[in-house]
Structure 1
Amino acid sequence: MSDFLSSVLPPMRTGDWLAKPASRIAATFHEAGQATDWMADEYAKVREALLLPEGVPLKDRLEIALDLLPRGVDVQWGEWLQGGRFATIGVICCPNRHVPTLARPAQGEHGVEWHPVARNWTSRSALEVGMTMEEFHGPHVKPLKEAYVAIDWSAPMARCNSVRVRSYTCDCLPTVYELCVAGGLGHIRRTERSAKGDRVSESPWLRDAEAKRLWHGILEGDAR
């Protein structure tokens, strides 16, 4: 736990930023527009150092962020920079839908106040570190192959009281996959995030070994 609190690396799950010391929080906003203005300012600091041409225009980034934040969806941008560095700029909602019971810091070193009842957008400064993408992100699914297995996705079924997530893909992409285990069986949960809201579906429930093979197929682009 101490390693997590002191690490300069961002957590794989964006909501877990709220478990970090309050001193790691750059500011707290009560208006989505204030949060996106901060993101634009931070992005401007690294824009000239981008390794590749800008894939998503800043105007589009801000429009998406302004749509997602009021609905309680964290926003995180990540770009490779020159010199093997990677910059991430994130705004985390508090309370957070993914970690609703997580304790929040009462006050940061810079006088940042938290308001657990109201919806806040908590920001963190751009982080520039030398690392590989695998060290920074969770796994990304590979492009879908021409010959692939089509998964029979369906609406979630409450078959067990509790489900354990064994692994999950990177939260920086619109679609997130989770390898879940419950009742001695495994299945894949898919969350598709868009401006219209989140859509959750799941694969058939399988024996553990079969679920692991299906998970590997999704990661490698052999199944979707």
Structure 2
Amino acid sequence: MDRHHHAYAHTGRAFTDGERLKGLAPSTYPPFMIQEWLTRPASNIAETFTDVDLAAKWLRAEMEAHPPMDVQSFGIDARMRHVVETLGQERGADVVWGYYCGKQMVSRAMISCAPGASRVPCPEGRK
């Protein structure tokens, strides 16, 4: 089993649950449930990583490019400690961020994908 992480990104306006249910949100908008990320088309994947450190570097770069409004009280370094811990877990775990940068809603997700260990197949077709 080739465990890896898929990165997903959305930056834009927020949508209400009603708008989402009516299909008004773009396909890159975060799903209601984390496991639904892997059911999205492969074209929604921003990057795929087999190395945890590279996945963490991507998340850091994304947060630096789109800093959260509360970055002064909860810095990027503190957030990144949690990211490396989480992605490095033996069974794999997800990191999902949703926050505001100015008037834009920012969503970044690093979703663990382990073909064969899940009922959801890898969106890229990896075995």
User: What TM-score does the superposition give when structure 1 sets the normalisation length?
Assistant: 0.40
Match of 1:78 among 70, 87, 98: 98
Count matched residues: 102
Question: What residue number does 1:37 align with?
Answer: 57
Superposed CA offset, 1:53-75 (max 9, x none): 53422112111111111221100
Residue in structure 2 matching 1:46, options 66, 72, 84: 66
User: TM-score when scaled to structure 2?
Assistant: 0.68
Correspondence 1:142-161 to 2 at 5 A: none
**Equivalent position of 1:169 in the other structure:** none
Work out which of the residue numbers 64, 74, 92 in structure 1 matches 2:111.
92
Residues 88 and 45 of structure 1, relative CA distance in 2, 3 Å threshold: same
Give the match's secondary structure for 2:66: helix
Q: Does 1:105 align with 2:120?
A: no
Work out whether residues 27 and 44 of structure 2, in 8 Å CA contact, stay in contact via their aligned partners in 1: no
The answer for the alignment partner of 2:3 in structure 1 is none
Q: 1:91 corresponds to which letter in structure 2?
A: M
Q: Distance in 2 between matches of 1:45 and 1:10?
A: 19
Which structure's CA Rg is the greater one? 1
**What amino acid does structure 2 have at the position aligned with 1:87?**
V
Percent of residue pairs bearing the same amino acid type: 25
Any stretches of 5+ residues in structure 2 without a counterpart?
Answer: 1-22
In 1: Cα distance, 2:48 partner to 2:64 partner: 20
Alignment-derived partner of residue 57 in structure 1: 75
In 2 relative to 1, CA 66–51 (structure 1 residues): closer, same or farther, beyond 3 Å? closer
Q: Root-mean-square deviation (CA), in Å? A: 2.6
User: Of the two structures, which has the highest relative contact order with CA contacts closer than 8 Å and spacing of 6 or more?
Assistant: 2
Alignment of 1:119-138 (within 5 A): none
Give the Å deviation of 1:21.
Answer: 0.5
Gaps of 5+ in 1: 107-113, 117-224
Q: Is the CA contact (8 Å cut-off) linking 1:15 and 1:74 kept in structure 2?
A: no
Distance 1:35 1:101 in 2: 24
Letter in 1 for 2:106: A
1:76 Cα deviation from its structure 2 partner: 1.3
1:93 aligned partner, one-letter code = S
